[in-house]
Amino acid sequence: MTRRCLCPGSFDPVTRGHLDVVERAAALFDEVVVAVLHNPAKRGVFDIETRIDLIERSIVPALAASGRVSVREFGARLVVDVCREVGASAIVKGVRGSADYSYEVPMALMNAHLSGVETVFLAADPRWGHVSSSLVREVAAHGADVSELVPEPVRAALSARNAGRQPDA
Ligand code: PNS
């Protein structure tokens, strides 16, 4: 039986922290579905097609070639419905610290309540403990070098987005 997990998020844009979680999930499960979902608490910056393209171009070549990781959009659907549709038995999330934990645990409990699907928390690699999509966007908008925090396609996309525009207020 194929053991499949879901790595959900808004990935706006994908960071090295996200990619680390996907790679570690792929070491635990046969297949990983990276699910790009709408977070109602967040206003999107990159369009969905761009987010997916950036994730696909950023997954390490060996893992991409294995065919064990797919990247799909699921809009504003419930994550448990997505798990059911793709046949995922678990959700995998990275946790950077107590703020993430406080945010994630109620969702994990709700998802277990709704469907029985378990959430597996991976302690974030300390290298990426300070890395979030929003902080990366913010510092990149002010011209900071984010090449150590995001894969090259994302650095280039941020640079193109920021070219010729004022930093976000
Ligand atoms: O990267 P993010 O923005 O922290 O990801 C949050 C996300 C998209 C995973 C979360 O908002 C989510 O699961 N949305 C799907 C809708 C849903 O299932 N909501 C109920 C969660 S208990």
Give the separation between CA 6 and CA 87, rounded to whole angstroms: 9
The pLDDT score that the predictor gives to residue 166 is 55
From the alpha carbon of 80, which atom of ligand 1 is closest? 18
**Contact (Cβ atoms closer than 8 angstroms) between residue 10 and residue 34:** no
> Angle of helix 79-86 relative to helix 98-115, nearest 10 degrees?
60
Q: Tokens at residue 95, please?
A: 């946790």
The Å distance, Cα 165 to ligand 1 centre, comes to 30
- pTM for this structure? 0.95
Q: Which one, of 126, 114, 42, 41, lies nearest residue 80 by Cα?
A: 114
Q: Supply the residue whose CA is at minimum distance from atom 21 of ligand 1.
A: 107
> What's the mean pLDDT in 31-37?
98
Give pLDDT tens digits for 41-86.
998 999 999 999 999 999 999 999 999 999 999 999 999 999 999 9
Give pLDDT tens digits for 83-102.
999 999 999 999 999 999 99
The Å distance, Cα 30 to ligand 1 centre, comes to 23
The pLDDT score that the predictor gives to residue 158 is 97
Q: What value does the mean pLDDT of the chain take?
A: 95
Whether residue 161 has pLDDT greater than 80: yes
**Contact (Cβ atoms closer than 8 angstroms) between residue 21 and residue 74:** no
